[in-house]
Chains A and B, each alone.
Chain A
Amino acid sequence: MCGINGIFSYHSAAELPKEAELVATREAMWSRGPDGSGIWWNADRRCGLGHRRLTIIDLSDAAGQPMISEDGRYVVSFNGEIYNYREIHAELAAEGARFRTASDTEILLHLYARDGAAMVHRLRGMYAFALWDDARRELFLARDPYGIKPLYTANDGRTFRFASQVKAVLAGGAVSRDQEPAGVAGFHLFGSVPEPFTLYRDIRALPAGHTQLIDVGGPHEPRPFANLAATLAEGARHPAPANELAERIRAGARESVRAHLVADVEVGLFLSAGVDSGALLGLMRDAGPRNIRAITLAFDEFRDTAEDEVPLAAQVAHHYGAEHIVRRVGQREFDDDLPAILEAMDQPSIDGINTWFVAKAAKEAGLKVAFSGLGGDELLAGYPSFDDLPRWRQRFGLFATLPGVGSLAQMLIVRLAPEFVRRQPKAPGFLQYANDWPGLYLLRRGLYLPRELTKLMEADLVREGLRRLRPLRRIAETLVPDPGSDVGRVCALESRHYLCNQLLRDADWAGMAHGIEIRVPLVDFALLRELAPAIPTLAPGSGKTALAMAPSRPVPDEIVTRPKTGFGVPTGAWMSAAATETANPAHSSKGVISRRWSQTVLRACSA
């Protein structure tokens, strides 16, 4: 886990990049890599790479970055972890490659020399990297299939820039802060900024599962190399028998946890009262480490309520013999930390507060790496959306396909039941959007619906933002090819949007603000490939039950049968209080609180 950046003046009429800019961008990412830093320039100083390092694998100075190949041809600046690097190392060494370090970084240099852009198909992990080929004068960028690690780029037509964070790109001082209406509209619609857009017109995300080549003619269009929908579709074409489900999940999860444990420092865990983190703890214990430290957040407001995760988490920790660290957080600390939270938030997001505090607790405990159960709900049909979307489609889909019915119903509901609309602002949109999967997903995950945006933005910006964003078409594109089952469709939608644009972004900025690498064994493309044939047959709860049974000592029953609780109170109440002095959180639904909070966040991030 690190921060990477670079500048390439590819156009022959472009000015040479300034070292001050390269350093300013790199230093804006100090918290991503407090253990070391480096810069590298090519001979004519047209390409410069920067790196801030958090040491996790091969702690020696020799593994510092940017790392140069022995012959000087290739240079890499890398953020993330390659979990199968030992296997690739052995393979390349057997073919005669000479290694100078025991790091995962060095395999990237040798693998690119051998396979070129196709190298990404060999990598298992979370990564974003930039690799310079001095002989071809080309820069090659890649980002992992799920988009766990971020990578942002800016191209002004003569000079190409990139960094791990949007705010770092801006810190260089050479990229415009002009607003991207699609990014702003997207934030209002989803509560996070949908890639490839950012809040700024001149800064884009390299999409998850894409590579990009920049040569003397400038950047080529990003190319996809991994497609979640295609993987799910392939699985649906060769479905696994239902009786194989539990074994597939057990084997896949065990293997993923084993792979994700590779590190030269201690690996901890964020432990909630849910199945995902509990199962991860059990699987970690099975894989070897004994004295695992598990961190749980506690809130005084929850004490002695069903929402207090501490008692059950403590039970799980005890069950697996882990050292349990309970970190109490109160409104006062939230208020104190709020300016730092908004400063660390790279792009506006309506979530991420819990991750901020649990990462803070991990740092206080002296950890650098922690597992998180993120992704389990997307992979194993844990969200209510896996039930809701197919049900809504069945109930409302037919009506919604009738021309004019959606608009008419919306108009009537808004006119006749304004109080209902105030409390359930998305309800009037049901008959308008429920006719297809993208519309259903927008209803499920939307913070606001498109018709509401004129309350938040100028009409011109709304029009332009929606025209550029094309939200429904963009969602539809993530279902190509068709994943082949309802569970697969919702899995693809949740993974490509909510997980990629919100949860993983939050895990990145909130973890990195404290120098904590958050590893997510349930967000793993190899695991998805393994489970894809079983995903169409997942029934409600069956995936989580199977995951709970995956460790040699299964997760306690109390955890498996516990109703799912959402993230909201008390953090929601604190947010609401921070968002407006007059709000009364007791009478506000989670959706309404999120709406208020989103405005606070956007104001802070746009400042």
Chain B
Amino acid sequence: MVADRLAGLLGLSNVTQLHCLALVTDAFGGRGGIAQHNRDLLGALVECGAVVSVVPRYAPDRIVTPAGVRQLPARRGKLAYSLSALLWARRERVDIVFCGHLYMVTLAWLVARLNGAKLIVQMHGIEAWSRPSRLRRLAAEATDLVLCGSRYTRTCVLGWAAIAPERAVVVSYTVGDAFVPGDGSRLRASLGLEGKYVLLTVGRLDARERYKGHDRVIAALPALLAQGDDVHYLIVGEGDDRSRLEAYARDLGVTEHVRFLGAVDAKTLAETYRVADLFVMPSTGEGFGIVFLEAMASGTPALGLAVAGACDALADGELGTAVSETDDLAAAISGLLSGPKRDPRGLSSATRARFGRTEFVARVGAALKRLGQAA
């Protein structure tokens, strides 16, 4: 029924089912915010009536695909990946090509062009903030629909791409059902954090992504401890920047107060959010910051910078707290820790009201409607 309606919108009235080919870096069996968003988006496409075939470059974890989604083997090499996508499109019908990353837009454009399919491109964040190569720009300008993770990313894209502004649509990220308020006392006890203030950041410790702001939080700890706040900082995530951050904590004399938890499984992650008194990620480079949503959906207040896509996730300060880069971060943290505690269930439901799954699927459906009208 839904498929018929969408197909009608897309001018494919004789088609009973829309076939979408998704070219992504990673989705099912992938890690991190981009893989999560790809999974969410492709799932939403299925809910809107499409069948989705996914060609990933990486899939390190166990692959579980929902009904309506089939994922081809990961192809790491560019040539093998391109061949895999082109051959698939030769064999199967493709009505929509979903390009999950700007880096693949030229290939996606070619596949769409060869198959007379509509092209949707996802712009996550930092990769789309500066002008890409000429070829990628031309391919991006030829897309039918550009999905942007945040207002900031959309503004950047419209700055370098000569496309009708109405074709660039913000589809904010959504938050999974696992993130709900609950009792975190067991994990808190096992971590030995009873009676202490717990700060948390979740994100890759990538030497190329130092914008996440772990340094800033570590740098704020001496001031917080000096004023008597017994603060402990949990860092979830793994990466090649860990040793540098450990050294930095040592230099500042706060090693005892910084805990690197490494990569954790989904269940532990959900619990860790509940343990935290404050989720803090003063990042200057977030395309959106899905972890802010996960924290707030878990009932934990979130603090970030009013920079780039984080403004959207923090709802310009209406859900979370957004401070400027020049503000005193220690003072902001202290103020939130000592101030009146926000009701976790209220925060969680307010977060879901804006960013819940139902809203997300509706947004994807509305964006697809644009695609039909552009036909």
Tell me whether A and B are bound partners. Answer: yes
Q: Which residues on A are within 8 Å of B, measured CB to CB?
A: 11-13, 15, 155-158, 176, 178, 201-202, 204, 215-222, 467-468, 470
Within 8 Å CB of B363, what residues of A?
11-12, 217
Within 8 Å CB of A12, what residues of B?
353-354, 359, 362-363
Within 8 Å CB of A176, what residues of B?
155
Docked CA distance A470–B163 (Å): 12
Closest to A153 in B: B165
- Name the contact of B359 in the complex, choosing from A13, A157, A217, A219 (C-beta under 8 A): A13
Instruction: A157-B150, A217-B169, A218-B166 given; name 7 further pairs at CB < 8 Å.
Output: A13-B354, A156-B151, A158-B170, A218-B370, A220-B166, A467-B162, A470-B162
B238 at the interface (CB under 8 A from A): no
Q: Which of B14-61 contact A (CB under 8 A)?
A: none
Interface SS of B by simple majority: helix
- Name the contact of B367 in the complex, choosing from A201, A217, A470 (C-beta under 8 A): A217
Within 8 Å CB of A201, what residues of B?
155, 158-159
Closest to A470 in B: B162
B164 at the interface (CB under 8 A from A): yes
Within 8 Å CB of B373, what residues of A?
220-221
Measured CB to CB, the closest approach of chain A to B374, in angstroms, equals: 7
Given that A156-B151, A156-B155, A157-B151 are contacting pairs, would A15 and B318 also be in contact in the complex, using a CB cutoff of 8 Å?
yes
Within 8 Å CB of B162, what residues of A?
467-468, 470
Within 8 Å CB of B167, what residues of A?
221
Asked whether B170 lies within 8 Å of A157 as measured between CB atoms, the reply is yes
- Chain B: residues with Cβ within 8 Å of the partner, total of 33
Docked CA distance A158–B373 (Å): 20
Within 8 Å CB of B165, what residues of A?
155, 204, 219
Docked CA distance A220–B373 (Å): 8
Q: Which residues on B are within 8 Å of A, measured CB to CB?
A: 148, 150-151, 154-155, 158-159, 162, 164-170, 172, 312, 315-316, 318, 353-355, 359, 362-363, 365-367, 369-370, 373-374
Closest to A12 in B: B359
Measured CB to CB, the closest approach of chain B to A153, in angstroms, equals: 9
Measured CB to CB, the closest approach of chain A to B321, in angstroms, equals: 15
Q: What are some 7 contacts across the A-B interface (CB < 8 A)?
A: A11-B170, A12-B362, A12-B363, A155-B166, A157-B154, A157-B155, A218-B166
Pairs A-B, 10 closest by C-beta atoms: A217-B366, A157-B170, A13-B354, A157-B151, A157-B154, A221-B166, A468-B162, A12-B359, A13-B172, A156-B151
Q: Which residue, A12, A202, A222, A470, has most C-beta atoms of chain B within 10 A? A: A12
Docked CA distance A367–B315 (Å): 49
Asked whether A13 lies within 8 Å of B148 as measured between CB atoms, the reply is no
Closest to A218 in B: B169
Docked CA distance A500–B255 (Å): 68
Closest to A214 in B: B166
Within 8 Å CB of A218, what residues of B?
166, 169-170, 366, 370
- Name the contact of A217 in the complex, choosing from B148, B318, B369 (C-beta under 8 A): B369
Closest to B169 in A: A218
Measured CB to CB, the closest approach of chain B to A263, in angstroms, equals: 37
Closest to B367 in A: A217
